[in-house]
Structure 1
């Protein structure tokens, strides 16, 4: 399965990735850029509502940029589930326990390097909030009532996700197989030296993120945004030789995958977008995708 960041770690990485960029710093002074000035601030990401010309690119991404559609689809399905939960709770006059806010979650095996270079390794666009219904007085719900609403939400989300999840899971298995590809492994051997040139001592990609996590507390809050931009640029720069190998390989894999699953792909192209539009109208949730 393709490695996906957890929502909690996305939040934490704002601090931890910034710390990685400051590994050689011995004080709380801002890290200088290559030109001797403070790092530029992060550029806020935006949202797009434009669907891909082929829904295959949303469900079976082969490039980092295509995963923006995949992230948006995943968030949309989760939003539908939460909207149904909230509707159930309103009908019963109960309050549901608070949940962590939704976030666009990236895929480690398909890094969106242009986006990362612009926004850093953690920052993305904020997930839009569906239009809220008027607040009503609500009592605390019993465990059974809460579970009933949670089940309704999961059922609604699963009805959407079930139209593509099995096919997507098979595709992500194909993508993950490139971790063992000799050409990919050869390209990844360049990563450590490149990161060292940016002042980051990490032997590989996993060590890069582990080191960031371990140094979570080392960066001052005022330095986080600029340092996040610096480390995002370093990561994007050093992973480009790897993606120059992996992206063409993924595109070849996808062409073969589409041929091997022609009937399922034909059905996906015929049904997915109309289904999503009906869900938008029914639940008052709009598809949105992170955009640079």
Structure 2
């Protein structure tokens, strides 16, 4: 399965920037939306950057389902689960959401709301595993496995189809029209004071600037980098987005039966999980 490029330090660094980017205007924090797409396949098979907001929300919901099912098991057995980092929205930079990036920077997003008590309560009582022995470890492993199983059951309703869709997008990286559009990137970035040979080079420069920025300057650096990236990638997305929409129309024709199943089952299964574990299905919004 193709793995979509998430924001990270790229492995091919371009030359260091010759000047720090100017501070971008301060903006309001990203919001949350509960609005579902008119067609659930847009949540599973995104073709535009804006549609990946639904995909990010779906990803977060499945991870929260895993934690909620594990927490329910832990309460039942009177044990506490290990602390874990908060769940966050993770962007898909192979389908960049340029309007969101321009407004909020490269990595800032809406905060994922805390799950309800049904999803988080793990208060221990007398019973299995008191005292921290091997019995507790076995119980913890069982509960974590139960959470993984619940998330897998939910994800399995769409994961195979989604994986094939992401594979379908890979050849666009080598499409002649896309490559021509990408050749405009170095000149545009130079106009923003950023020297980079390509998109990977830009991410390497961005990583360096973010790592070295003073804490009070980091938000401005993030927004300036996001503004530059969004501006310079718009000609690329002007080519890629229509191509992805055409590919999806063909993909849905070729996988009509699976698409019908997603349309019939995905949203009801999400609502059932939300009711069972006190979860909210929400999406980042500009």
Q: Tell me whether the two structures share a fold, i.e. TM-score over 0.5.
A: yes
Query: In structure 2, what is the Cα distance between the partners aligned to 1:32 and 1:171?
Result: 36
- Report whether the alignment pairs 1:233 with 2:227: yes
Q: 2:160 aligns with which of 152, 166, 171?
A: 166
Establish whether residue 96 from structure 1 lines up as the match of residue 90 from structure 2.
no
CA deviation vs aligned residue, 1:89-113 (integer Å, no higher than 9, x gap): 1112211111121111111110000
Separation of aligned partners in 2, 1:216 and 1:68 = 24
Return the alpha-carbon distance in structure 2 between the equivalents of residues 146 and 102 of structure 1: 20
Report if aligned partners of 2:79, 2:122 keep a CA contact under 8 Å in 1: no
Question: Partners of 1:171 and 1:136 in 2: how far apart?
Answer: 42
TM-score, structure 2 length as denominator?
A: 0.89
Who is 2:91 aligned against?
106
> 1:215: Cα distance to partner?
4.3
Residue matched to 1:255: 249
Q: Distance in 1 between matches of 2:65 and 2:110?
A: 19
Partner of 2:191: 197
Question: CA–CA distance in 1 between the matches of 2:117 and 2:273?
Answer: 17
Q: What's the CA shift for 1:284?
A: 0.8
User: How far apart are the structure 2 equivalents of 1:215 and 1:68?
Assistant: 26
Unaligned runs of 5+ in 1: 14-19, 26-30
2:267 corresponds in structure 1 to 273
SS of alignment partner, residue 212 of structure 2: coil
- Distance between the aligned counterparts of 1:69 and 1:32, measured in 2? 31
Counterpart among 41, 44, 48 of residue 63 in structure 1: 48
Point out where structure 2 has 5 or more consecutive residues left out of the alignment.
none
Matched, 1:289 2:283: yes
Answer yes or no: is the 8 Å Cα contact 1:2–1:109 preserved in 2: no
Distance apart, 1:4 and its partner CA: 4.1
Offset, 1:2: 4.0
Verify: 1:76 aligned to 2:67, yes or no.
no
Which residue number in structure 2 is paired with residue 17 of structure 1? Answer: none
TM-score by length of 1: 0.87
Q: Quote the Cα distance in structure 2 between the aligned partners of 1:217 and 1:281.
A: 41
Aligned residue number for residue 3 of structure 1: 4
2:39 equivalent in structure 1: 54
Matches of 2:266 and 2:180, distance apart in 1: 38
Look up the SS of the partner of 1:64 in the other structure: coil
**SS of structure 2 residue aligned to 1:47:** strand
- Asked whether the 8 Å contact 2:43–2:55 carries over to 1, the reply is yes
The RMSD of aligned alpha carbons is 2.1
